[in-house]
Structure 1
Amino acid sequence: MTFEQLKQHVKTIINTNIKTVDERLLQICELLEMHIDYYNWVGFYFRNGNEEELILGPYIGEATDHTVIPFGKGICGQVAVSNQNFVVPDVTAQDNYIACSITVKAEIVIPIFVNGENVGQIDIDSNTPDPFTEADEQFLEFVCNQVSTILK
């Protein structure tokens, strides 16, 4: 399935008001992991109120011990501080990387903004070295924009 086709599915999931926000986020995780071969772990992290830490939200993939990530720690923690996309073609080249699994080779993290404030992010791990392109980045920005519409 192409990114354009996936966008339509994401919109449909977002607009399904009979499901909770978490159910819709999990459905998006499942959609992306199922239809993009090199997306091996897909999940959301959200700011924990006024604390400078992220809390794991819905995800699909291997279980992780990283349910709380301090701002600045790892790729997700760095995105919480920088408010910028972070594409990591080779996780072994990152000093501040939190290893979730020895099979992970690359990671991409895109922030989610509500009213200009970074409230969370989508985090994707890949077992394929250097798989993420500008098209992935643009697609995930679209996903994050859609998700921002259902967050309070």
Structure 2
Amino acid sequence: MFIVEEYKGSKEEKYDLVTKQLLALIKDEYNTIANLSNASALLNYFLDRVNWVGFYLLEGDELVLGPFQGLPACIRIPLGRGVCGTAAKEGKTLRVADVNEFSGHIACDSASQSEIVIPILIDGQLFGVLDIDSPEKNRFDEIDERLLQKFVETLTPFLGKNKD
């Protein structure tokens, strides 16, 4: 049985632990949905002051809701729309201190005030995005951005695979 350790220490040490826990959870699993589900649950438990943690997966020219933790969310987001669609289209992480100031923001949950979206690339191709919302403005900083990108890089090799 997997036991979640208590998160103590510096922000960097906490992120290091949650990334190690992710790897322990998924290292022998091939199912994308199972791995995304555990990743979103782990981050939701780990991160404080967040109200939504989840994934949107590329399907054609839009992102489709994947595994998540939080209130029901928008199901489909066109590429280039909102924070998720823009991060996906540009292929870069977007950290938005105040979503109300982001042109074209899609308000799935009116409580969300800040957001970070990290694209997931497999072999250089967009697979989806990790989306995290907070009810606080300016919740995410450079450390969150860098270490959430590392979390996604750890997760990526375990996505989009089929059982051999």
TM-score (norm 2): 0.85
* Matched residue, 2:35: 24
Which residue number in structure 1 is paired with residue 72 of structure 2?
63
Shift of 1:140: 1.2
Match of 2:17 in 1: 5
| CA displacement at 1:120 relative to structure 2 | 0.8
Cross-structure match for 2:105: 97
Deviation at 1:71, TM superposition (A): 0.7
Percent identity, please: 32
**Structure 2 residue 144 is matched with structure 1 residue 143:** no
Report if the CA contact (8 A) 1:41-1:62 is conserved: yes
CA radius of gyration, larger in: 2
Gaps of 5+ in 1: none
1:42 equivalent in structure 2: 53
Q: Which residue of structure 2 lines up, in the alignment, with residue 115 of structure 1? A: 123
Q: What RMSD over aligned residues (CA atoms) do the two structures have, in Å?
A: 1.2
Worse-matched range after superposition: 82-91 or 35-44? 35-44
Deviation at 1:100, TM superposition (A): 1.2
CA–CA distance in structure 1, aligned partners of residues 28 and 144 of structure 2:
24
Mapped to 1, the partners of 2:49 and 2:25 lie a distance apart of: 22
Q: Deviations over 1:12-53 (max 9, x none)?
A: 122142x732122111111111121122210111110xx211
Partners in 2 of 1:86 and 1:80 — Cα distance? Answer: 9
Which of 75, 86, 91 in structure 2 is aligned with 1:78? Answer: 86
Question: Match of 1:20, as an amino acid?
Answer: N
Moved over 2 A (4+): none
Letter of the 1:36 counterpart: L
Describe the SS at the equivalent of 2:158: coil
Contact conserved, 2:97 with 2:114, CA < 8 A, in 1?
yes
The SS at the match of 1:97 is coil
Which residue of structure 2 lines up, in the alignment, with residue 15 of structure 1?
Answer: 27
Number of corresponding residues: 148
Q: Indicate conservation of the 8 Å contact 2:80/2:88, yes or no.
A: yes
Gaps of 5+ in 2: 1-6, 8-13
Whichever residue aligns with residue 53 of structure 1, its letter is E
Whether the aligned pair in 2 keeps the contact of 1:112 and 1:147 (CA below 8 Å) is no
Instruction: Provide the C-alpha distance between the structure 2 equivalents of 1:151 and 1:23, rounded to a whole number of angstroms.
Output: 10
TM-score, L = length of structure 1:
0.92
